[in-house]
A = this chain, B = another copy of it.
Amino acid sequence: MTGNPLSAFEAYRKKSRRRQKLCFGEDIHGELIEVVRSSLSMLEPLERKRLTSRVSGKSYFEFVSGESASRCVNEDLFDGDQEAVIGGLRQILSGSTKGMDASRVARVLYTAAISFCAVVDLLKKGDQKTPGTFFEYLCAPVLRSFFQVDPVQALDVLNLDLNTRLPTDLVFDLGAKKPKFHVPVKTSTRERIIQVFAHQRVLDGAYGTGRFLGMPIVLTETKTDGRTKEVTEICLPDQWMLYHLHIATFWRVVYFDLPTAYGRLRTEFPPVPVIGIGEFLSPGGPLEEIVARHGSAS
């Protein structure tokens, strides 16, 4: 017996916010898991309608409920086995992916993310904000488990006579002389990616290049044409390269559903290090490596 995903998310949000601070420790894992579980339960009996994919090598479907349809869902990344997803999510939230391969990590996290987003599409047509907030509230506790420190959302800037606070996306600060991670979280970026590069540039300028490791996390760049029901990926690789050359560079760009055109940027020169969430978080991946080298915050 599970409840309504939207009210489950409200309960989760409420518990995470304490005195203007976001706390994503173990005590909220139960609420997060309840959001995912209730979403999967709601989607389980629904019709899945195959979409025409214009993305080479990827298949997509949408959930249909009466007149409503969800956003497109990647067939290979969606895991319909509720217990497998919940079990995997529990383990990832423990701060370890031991014994999981990249593909399993990717499927668990993609399924958790897309299921609640699909529920919102079906229940609150046109609401873009709630899926965006949820995606941030999914990524934050996962990263918190690996970094062992709560994120902050604003940084003090003291620049001679200018003393202000710079609002940021999530920032995980492992402590003095350890890496600080700047983590913008977006369900998609399109042309708005330039904001993310610019934000990184301000951090590089204000604190020194290399102090903050930029690590945007993005769900997908897919778009479903409302009329033809064709799925495409909106990618601007040449513009990314210009931004990478002229604005700032990221430590990693992490995708839940890695777009083909951005995946290629990693092998070109100069490389833009775009990577899938599975490879990023799985044993031997970049996150494990950097935490092992520099130590987590605790």
Contacts and interface: CB of A to CB of B under 8 A. Distances in A.
Given A162-B242, A241-B162, A199 B194 contact: yes
6 contacts: A164-B239, A167-B191, A194-B199, A201-B201, A201-B247, A205-B246
Interface string A171-212: 000000000000000000001101101110110111000000
Interface of A: 157, 159, 162, 164, 166-167, 191-192, 194-195, 197-199, 201-202, 204-206, 238-239, 241-243, 245-247
Given A159-B245, A238-B164, A245-B159, A201 B198 contact: yes
Contacts of A192: 195
Contacts of A197: 198
A207 to B, nearest CB: 10
Nearest to A197: B198
A206 B242 CA distance: 8
A242 B198 contact: no
Which secondary structure dominates where chain A touches chain B? helix
Given A198-B198, A201-B198, A206 B239 contact: no
Contacts of A238: 162, 164
Nearest to A164: B238
A238 B239 CA distance: 29
B206 A157 contact: no
Contacts of A247: 198, 201-202, 205, 247
B205 A245 contact: yes
A164 B246 CA distance: 14
A242 to B, nearest CB: 6
Contacts of A201: 198, 201, 246-247
Contacts of A204: 246
B205 A198 contact: no
A157 B191 CA distance: 17
A197 B199 CA distance: 11
B166 A242 contact: yes
B164 A242 contact: yes
B243 A202 contact: yes
A147 to B, nearest CB: 26
A162 B240 CA distance: 12
A162 B194 CA distance: 18
A3 B202 CA distance: 49
Contacts of A159: 242, 245
A132 to B, nearest CB: 15
User: What are the 9 closest A-B residue pairs judged by CB atoms, nearest first?
Assistant: A205-B246, A198-B198, A164-B238, A194-B198, A202-B246, A194-B195, A195-B195, A201-B247, A202-B242
